[in-house]
Amino acid sequence: MRVCIVGASGKLGQYMVQQSLDRGDEVVGVCREQSVGKLDAFKGRITVIPGATDDREVIKRAVAGCGGVLVVLTPRGVHGYSTGTTQAVLDYAPPGARLIFSCGWHITLDGQDVYSLKLKTLVKVFGPLARLARFADLDDQVEAARRIFASDTRWTVVRGSDLEEGESQGLPVWSRHVGDPILESNITRRVDFALFMVEALDNDELVHRAPAIVGRQTPSALAYA
């Protein structure tokens, strides 16, 4: 499969690049021009298209001919970065392509998620502060997700818990709703978050779903699997 990875130079993106190559996929990576050097380890094995991921022409070039698109939704700045990236992918991805987006647990598909006081406080406090500092806009991810959910494309939105580095523990477990006891540990290895994204390309059960994930070897996963 020809796969486009939007946000390829980040930690999550680099894991997805390697995992896609391991599967035998042809990889096209999109990243900001100043971050191209972070992909030097893959030189000669992937096609890199430099540019802002919310640049519609950059995305149009990158997704051409791709059967899958993996998108790291980053709420960078206060100018609708995630929304712009999302809309470009929705508009230009080939018909029938599998579109896999990443975001946090704060996104909800059906309003049936149950959030802890800690998470609600974090979003309520950090969100306005980050926006005030012009660092990030969590509402941008919310709007991006709304557009994805309204789309008739073959989308999946993977909602990640807190992340940590470390060796893979295997494919994370998931639930349709935050608040499920299986998610209680709220931690996933970043390499495994990437693995879930890549594996979702071939998992039709996840089409039009927003799975919330947690590490496979975490206490809650082991207790409730």
H/E stretch holding 20 reads helix 11-22
Strands 212-214 and 26-31: unpaired
pLDDT at 73: 86
**pLDDT band at residue 137 under the 50/70/90 scheme:** low
* pLDDT at position 135 over 50: no
Report which DSSP code applies to 209.
B
pTM of structure:
0.90
Q: Which amino acid is at 93?
A: A
pLDDT per position as a tens digit, 94-103: 999 999 999 9
Q: Calculate what percentage of the chain has a pLDDT beyond 90.
A: 81
Number of other residues whose CB lies within 10 A of the CB of residue 66: 24
The string of DSSP codes covering 95-136 is: TT-EEEEEEETT--SSS-----HHHHHHHHHHHHHHHHTTSB
Length of the chain: 225
Q: Average pLDDT, whole number, for the chain?
A: 90
pLDDT grade for 134, boundaries at 50, 70 and 90: very low
**Low-confidence winner among 3-7, 54-58, 127-131 (lowest mean pLDDT):** 127-131
Handedness of CA 21, 189, 136, 37 (dihedral sign): negative
Q: What is the mean pLDDT of residues 132-158?
A: 82
The confidence score (pLDDT) of residue 79 equals: 55
Q: Is the pLDDT of residue 167 over 70?
A: yes
Kindly report, residue by residue over 66-109, the tens digit of the pLDDT: 999 999 987 554 456 889 999 999 999 999 999 999 998 888 99
pLDDT for 20 equals 98
pLDDT of amino acid 78: 40
Q: How confident is the model at residue 204 (pLDDT cuts 50, 70, 90)?
A: very high
What per-residue confidence (pLDDT) applies to 75?
A: 56
